[in-house]
Structure 1
Amino acid sequence: MKNMQFIILPLIFCLFGFGATESISVRANVHCAHNKNSKPIVTLMEHDFGDVPILSWFDSDDLLDETKVDYGEHFTLDGNEIEVFSTEPYLRIYHSCFGVDQESVLDLSQFEPSPEGVYHLGHIKIKTDGLAVTN
């Protein structure tokens, strides 16, 4: 069993060492529905194996960029990630729009980036029932 570790671990490290660098950019505005004083923190994340217990030890989700946003303020998040397979970016938004600290997640796979890899999302509205994105 111990010899198996000497085979598997180097293979895993080789696999993650031969990836391609991908750039991701997100441009948008964020609005707290009823709280103009709230300043959400928006983070650009890249999904790896964060939800798979053993694999998350080797490659958990990656924080690519982060910003604190005033109500309605335009923001830009940029990041680079070395991936063997395709990147799976998402936004994690920490906010207290409704008086309680909350976290909302926006999966960017439902949007098409520009040829340069930029996600132009327009307006992200934080609502009681989730997030709404409008251009």
Structure 2
Amino acid sequence: MDRGIPLNWCQIRLIRVNGRKEANCRALMEDGGGGGRGGTGRNSSTKTAAKRTLDFVCVVALPLSVVPMSPLSSLSCLWLLLGFFFLLALPSLALGLRQQSVGAKGRLFCGTQPAQNVLVKLYDKDTGLDPDDQLDSARTDASGNFKVQGDERETTNIDPELRIYHHCNKGLNPCPRKWIITVPDKYIHSGKAPPKKYFELGNINLEVEVEGESFDCIH
């Protein structure tokens, strides 16, 4: 290969000829028939093999000293290659996702009176940059009863939690009190909602101060 030929990463192809890999830029840059080293023989078969390959594949197997590439082209090539392998991995990731369901129910009181219209949300808590997923929300009825349920696809077990927003015994703070109650793993079931078994909270007096509770005006 003539190292003086100006190349860019779009003109490089990785081709297979007679069971081995070979970079042949000239053969791919020329149309069939004439020019370069001729349109017959080895170059002709090289062009035919190249046309049957992907539209482009970055030459990462060859030393950069053999195929001159600018730093920007090398970076573009790397990102393209990473994207190519990500697309190949998508089917495997999809097969690893499991449908999981969870649910909870209970009855809320403020002292001896049923707590009406209390907002209860069911979340799948995520980590890192992935935001938490809201699975369901409901408000208590006139008797203080609530029931929430939902399902989610994850590769690992979901981390469900209840978030209860109420004004019982909140003092002078204008924002509602926020409780977070973790749902035990044994109430996570396979398949879509409704789940096979609900997390039963029973009767709960919202006057109680829960460790880690906060006030939340935006929810």
Greater share of residues in strand: 1
Superposition deviation, residue 32 in structure 1? 2.6
**Partner Cα separation in structure 1 for residue 92 and residue 188 of structure 2:** 31
3-state DSSP of counterpart to 2:187:
coil
Number of matched residues? 123
Q: TM-score, normalised by structure 2?
A: 0.46
Query: Structure 2: which 5+ runs fail to align?
Result: 1-74, 190-195, 212-219
Superposition deviation, residue 18 in structure 1? 3.2
Provide the residue aligned with 1:113 in structure 2. 187
CA RMSD, 1 decimal: 3.3
Cα deviation 1:38-81 (Å, max 9, x = unaligned): 631000111112xx2xx22xxx1111111111464222111011
Matches within 5 A, 1:18-57: 18-33=96-111, 39-49=117-127, 52=128, 55-56=129-130
Query: Structure 1: which 5+ runs fail to align?
Result: none
Residues 6 and 41 of structure 1: CA distance in aligned 2, closer, same or farther (over 3 Å): same
Superposition deviation, residue 26 in structure 1? 0.9
Provide the residue aligned with 1:78 in structure 2. 149
3-state DSSP of counterpart to 1:104:
strand
Is 1:127 aligned with 2:207? yes
Ranked by relative contact order (alpha carbons within 8 Å, sequence separation 6 or more), the top structure is: 1
Q: Percent identity?
A: 21
Match for 1:19: what amino acid?
L
**Partner Cα separation in structure 1 for residue 91 and residue 132 of structure 2:** 17
Superposition deviation, residue 5 in structure 1? 6.4
Structure 1 moving runs of 4+ over 4 Å:
7-14, 34-38
- 8 Å CA contact 1:34–1:98 kept in 2: the answer is no
Match for 1:103: what amino acid?
K
